[in-house]
Structure 1
């Protein structure tokens, strides 16, 4: 069992013993998503810590999107629960890049792409190829894409 997955299991056990319903249900759902990912495909396999992090990030993103949907639907109690679950999962993820850090990385990539002959909005793919490895796991894809579009337009 990977280190991160073992930590999730240990935290789940502690949450159950402490009768922390929010934490235990969130960790159960996350471990279920990890187990599903391990059995998906042609053969079962154990996920690495990096793959487990990607599953946790995907689950956290689902919680953020659900919270927004509940806010739109005027269901504040459910939105608050989804936010709490998202914050709980965020504790297992690496610290996200600040807007300033992301802007600096994207600006450098735009300069490199423009030096290579890429111009205008068509340069998006070239810039994303440069940026993606640098920010993988540290910034959500939509944030990165929006920043690339903003800097290419400006």
Structure 2
């Protein structure tokens, strides 16, 4: 509908907003808000869900190691210095529950367990590349110690 001047347009927008606001307050119209869910937990924002899924001191490091390919538990533990057995097992379990990685157990003695990223986990590669690039701006020069 063409407007004769900007005041008629502004008047129509105000009328629409006023009417909509009254309808929302009376419960006639509900504003739909998107919800996001992972592991029976709901989030209002996809960024909040993402941060919750990968938060944890070692999760990003684990994902980086698994981007290289399948790894056994012992290999992951050796590559991440300073991580405790309990914490590694817990972080791996949480990533598995979130669908980021896949745990493959083989019937052998001693038990053989391999971890690899799922397609969902592999989809994090561009994010990891971006974070690596961003973090490199804070690199400090390595110092040579003289004997």
The two structures share one fold, judged by TM-score above 0.5: no
> Looking at CA atoms only, which structure, 1 or 2, has the larger radius of gyration?
2
Q: Which has the higher helix share?
A: 1
TM band (smaller chain): under 0.3
| Structure with higher RCO (Cα < 8 A, 6+ apart) | 1
Q: Which has the higher strand share?
A: 2
Using the size of structure 1 for normalisation, the TM-score is 0.22
